[in-house]
Amino acid sequence: MLLPALFLLLQVSLGDFFILRAPDCNIQISNLDPEPIVVDGTYTFLYAAPDASSVLVKSGETIIISCPGGEITVGSTSFNSTVSATCVSNSDFSVGSATINFNQIVCSWNPFHTARYTGKSCEKQGKEIEVGFVINENFAREITICFDNANLNTLYSSYEITKSMGHHESGVSRPFFIEDDFYNLDVKVNSLYVRGGQRTTINSLLGLPADSTKYIQDGNDFYLARGHFAAKADFVYAPQQTATFHYVNVAPQWQSFNGYNWNQVESDVRDYAEKNGIDLKMYTGTYGVTTLPHEETGEETPLYLYIGSNGIQGIAVPELYWKVAYNPETQLGVALLGINNPYQKDINKSIICEDVSAKINWLHWNASDTKAGYSYACEVDAFRKRVTYLPDFVVKGLLL
């Protein structure tokens, strides 16, 4: 009786062993032009693993492919702007009754990105804005912004830097910035940022002739750039990168700082995520208003890009830019700060927490260079004592 039972068990085991499973799908989203938005069932962006060359979709798994603002075509077949696609094998997916090859997908237009109020509040007087892609009745969120609409200032942007930054698409064109409906001024926001516009406004505040180049110069470094919170280079895919070009995701930043120490901070954080294989939760924002001395009185004067006919001021030139990098798994984080004023002589007045940058060996900035943006690092909890609008999360130590 024992031998027949063993023989039957062997037959069942071998039968299970030799069941053939269809190969998984491996897709290269960046090879498509224009490339679609590809997310999972929770509307989370899909990335290739750091050590892989393509995104893995398991056989039988369903993904969502979308071309917001356009439609999907595969060969001569047209689909709606969004489809649910189930992996069959390799690059073949089933969409309804059809089988399509992922490599033949074409968006009729570059995916349209959206910035919109969520209806939620943030901090004391902020309103929450989400930036991302409308997919049917859902939303693939890329950036969350806390916007102080009373003063026309963004307090911070929050987003994720993926460990798959090694797959970042380079050479993506920089689009024009979008104003949206968040400012409602009597002038276009773009006109406030152009060199002539900012020069006129800053000189008016400081009692200088309208065409003075004392501070807003004609060269490459000493003018106010559109300084990103969530940087274009912080994202992998082309549609994600272009979605950072909303005015609510920038503030006036001296180009000498934007192009040097702050650019180095952004690069160092991305490198840290990639080299350590972790997804970093990011918060990037501003603190305070920078000042320069009035030409006649010598009084330190706050700088703004907008001065209304009724005297209302808005779009402040920040005193500090800050960036908090946080590892949710280990609950370790660090606050990185830079002074946004190449003309500032008294550095100490802008040191709002103890500098611990000597403990961090992955930063490659020239921290003491004032023109490049004097920079320092702090423990997150110490930083939070001054920047009280940083969202609440547990921090157990320094991100080393």
Q: Where are the domains of the chain?
A: 2-107, 114-398
Rounded CA-CA distance 342/254 in Å is 7
- pLDDT at position 309 is 86
Residue numbers in the known binding site for Mg(2+) are: 258
Binding residues: 258
Confirm if 93 and 84 have CB atoms less than 8 A apart.
no
- Give pLDDT, residue 174: 97
First to last CA, the chain: 65
Quote the pLDDT of residue 3: 44
Instruction: Give residue 7's pLDDT.
Output: 41
Gap between the Cα atoms of 96 and 39, Å rounded: 18
Q: What is the mean pLDDT of each run of 10 residues along the chain (400 residues)?
A: 43 48 94 97 98 97 98 93 98 96 96 98 94 98 98 98 98 97 96 98 98 96 99 99 99 99 99 99 99 98 95 96 99 99 98 99 98 99 98 98
228 is annotated as an active-site residue: yes
Catalytic residue among 113, 167, 168, 228: 228
| Dihedral sign, Cα of residue 247, residue 249, residue 252, residue 255 | negative
- Helical H segments across the chain, by residue range: 2-17, 189-193, 195-206, 238-242, 255-258, 261-276, 380-384
Task: Report the C-alpha gap between 244 and 148 in whole angstroms.
Answer: 18
pLDDT value for 21: 73
- CA-to-CA dists, residue 220 to 45, 95, 225, angstroms: 36, 51, 10
For domain 114-398, the CATH architecture is 3-Layer(aba) Sandwich (3.40)
| Alpha-carbon distances of 204 from 171, 201, 301, 329, rounded to whole Å | 39, 5, 11, 49
Query: Which of 271, 232, 272 has its CA nearest to residue 249?
Result: 232
CB 141 within 8 A of CB 118: no
Residue 19: the pLDDT is: 54
- Tokens 């200032």, residue located: 153
Give φ, ψ of 120 to 5 degrees: -100, 155
> Which residues contact residue 170 at a Cβ distance below 8 angstroms, ignoring those fewer than 6 apart?
none
Residue 18 pLDDT: 46
